[in-house]
Amino acid sequence: MPHCSLFHQELDQLIACLLQQGRDPVTELVLYTSEKSYPDEGNFVRVWNSGTPEFQDVQPVFERLAFSQVAAHCSSLRASDRGNRQDALGFSSQNLAERCPITSVSIPGMNHGMLDFQDEFAKMSALSALLSVSQRGMQSANMELFHFTMFAVTIHHANIFEGKYLLFAWSIVN
């Protein structure tokens, strides 16, 4: 199922296009507003918005994240057509120069700049566990655990992610 973030004017354009095609936006779109959180596991996208009662439970962990560091890092990147600046951190499947001494399988290389964000990966892992959005852990199969220890744990001992995209996006409020 496709999903995206839209500015208000883009949402209006999407609704107009659906109506032109004889489609019903009410049944075809699921809208998530910023005034409410959508934390239920059954949701396609789970959202915790600042200022909602659901966000209060995660706010102390969320506030430990270094957003100013992410903004500073992303400010040096080229902006997309929408104004977003994005960078991939962690391991990259595009860099396969090294082989695992145990399995002889190519090992992805670590992306440039990753070491600056090791602690942030650990904080995101803690937030992910608090929100129950990641199921990675000791219940994983042996090969998954092997993969996990070869990659995620080498970034930080408390990390569960092999890679993440840093995304700095903003919108102009009318």
pLDDT of residue 7: 78
Cα separation, 7 vs 46, in Å, equals 19
Cα separation, 168 vs 82, in Å, equals 11
Cα separation, 163 vs 110, in Å, equals 9
Spell out the residues 6+ positions from residue 142 whose beta carbon is closer than 8 angstroms to its own: none
pLDDT in tens, 41-87: 888 778 888 899 999 988 888 888 877 777 777 777 777 777 776 67
Q: How is the chain split into domains, by residue range?
A: 64-174
DSSP 2: -
Cα separation, 25 vs 16, in Å, equals 9
pLDDT in tens, 132-172: 766 555 455 666 677 777 778 888 888 887 776 655 444 33
